[in-house]
A and B are shown apart, each in its own frame.
Chain A
Amino acid sequence: MKESKWKQFLGVWNTKTIVGVAIGAALFGVLMVFGGIKIFSNTSLTSAMVVVVVVAALFGPVPAALTAGIGNVIADLIGGWGFWFDWSFGNLVLGLFVGLLPLYGAKISEGIFTVKHAIIYAITCIVGNIVAFGLVTPLLTSLFYSQELAITWLQAASAIVSNGVVLIVIGIPFLFLLAKRNASKTNLKKED
């Protein structure tokens, strides 16, 4: 049982997952550059996090984390504003938390997503946000650039709020939608 959890955590690394993560990272990058509305210096209300939710639902935690991390690097690259690995790491950690979906039994690809799962999802999103942008990013920023923690926290707070809103307000209905879309497949049974 323990090993299968670990496998769920890592995800299955076949070609499908690689393509999924690649497309997710590309979407994440483009949305981060163009799909955002500025709210504070260095941060904006971006819809990019929705992509991470989809990858999480389809492939699990580690692919979701890679999508967010690589996606952020791609955003930095195509946006041209330089690489800020402190924020990429923050996104990576958040992706990991968002991707925990299959570990508490929400199997979107099989159409399983209940209210209970939604509540756990919301809690992990909030916790993940706080760990990612309240701890990891400020720590790395002060380590790399010796920025005053107060400002990083201001930026982090706005990131936490905006990501939280996107993940919960858009993410949960979207997960229900995806689950419903996949549910129709489940009445087919495999013949021996």
Chain B
Amino acid sequence: MGLTKRLFIKIIPGKTFLDKLSGTTKVRFFLLLILLLIVSWDLRVLLAVSALGIIGMISVKPNWPLVRGLTIFMLLTNLFNLFLIWLTNPNYGADLTGGCTVLLVLSKHYFISAETLFALFVRFMKFMSTFLISLCFIQCITPSEMAAGLYSIKVPYKVCTVVSLAFRYIPDIARDFENIKISMQARGMELDSKKVGFFARLKQNILILMPLIISSFDRIGNIANAMDLRGFGKGKKRTYYSEHEETKEDKIMKVCYLLTAAGIVAIMIGRIVAPPEYKMWKPW
């Protein structure tokens, strides 16, 4: 199954420290960290979270070649975005940090200032830390743990089931896709992307897509009946098999995520009580 190997789905729980945490801990910690990264413009916070992300990445022992490819891709996209920002507004840093120390003048409109470089770097770290934390989260969570974790933050369990069911269905999609592709090739369709042009590829996409969508949606009735027969949706609450009692590690992480939450609240209150002059903290 070529497709599923390229996806980041973990079905079987792993054995590392992060894997062993309960779904509740993983989901809550992750969401709070993402929230912190959205709220914070402080380079110190961003660097600390990135360091945490890197440690986490190493600890979960990921599939390195896949991660490397993705990281390079993200770096390039990110750098391209930064370049675009600079292109549209060479004085990007002035509004965010205040001040404009010109380092290099390129033309009448384009120049490089220390503040802009710093602001761009902060933004770069903001993106990269979000990326690292997400990647780490993806590497250590299984679909049913994710559903359990979402349920623990009061998401209705029917929505949680949508999430875990969707993940359960992805390998089926991969299998159907392979089958449809092979039968299309048997009918003489050229699928080598080097041999066909843009519009031909677009047309092929649609030709494979339609049977895939129709066959998938035809299965709704069967799955829904099977779930109804097992009494799905009858109760008001739900428990999860993957969810275990709080272990010692969970308790340690609970302290961590509560601290993170306190940090977010502190930042927000600080912003309301004493609004900082500029959005970003800068070392000078």
A residues with CB within 8 A of B: 13-16, 18-27, 29-31, 33-35, 37, 41-42, 45, 47, 50-51, 54, 58, 66, 70-71, 74, 76-85, 144-148, 150-151, 154, 170, 174
Contact = CB atoms under 8 A, between A and B. Distances in A.
Contact of B162 (A33, A45, A66): A66
B284 to A, nearest CB: 20
Given A16-B220, A35-B205, A41-B77, A22 B169 contact: yes
5 contacts: A18-B158, A70-B162, A82-B131, A145-B127, A146-B96
Given A22-B161, A41-B80, A148-B85, A80 B135 contact: yes
B223 interface: yes
A19 B220 contact: yes
A78 B41 contact: no
B8 A77 contact: yes
A150 B88 contact: yes
A22 B131 CA distance: 25
B96 A25 contact: no
B198 interface: yes
A78 to B, nearest CB: 4
Contacts of A170: 206
A117 to B, nearest CB: 20
Interface of B: 3, 7-9, 34, 38, 41, 66-67, 70, 73-74, 77, 80-81, 84-85, 88-89, 92, 96, 123, 126-127, 130-135, 138, 158-159, 161-163, 165-167, 169-170, 173-174, 177, 198, 201-202, 205-206, 209-210, 212-213, 216-217, 219-221, 223-224, 227-228, 232-233, 279
A82 B70 CA distance: 10
Contacts of B232: 15
A146 B123 contact: yes
Given A27-B212, A37-B198, 12 more contacts: A16-B221, A18-B158, A30-B174, A41-B81, A70-B166, A74-B163, A77-B9, A78-B138, A82-B135, A83-B134, A151-B84, A170-B206
Given A19-B227, A41-B77, A151 B205 contact: no
B78 to A, nearest CB: 9
Contact of B7 (A21, A78, A154): A78
A74 B167 contact: yes
Contacts of B213: 27, 50-51, 54
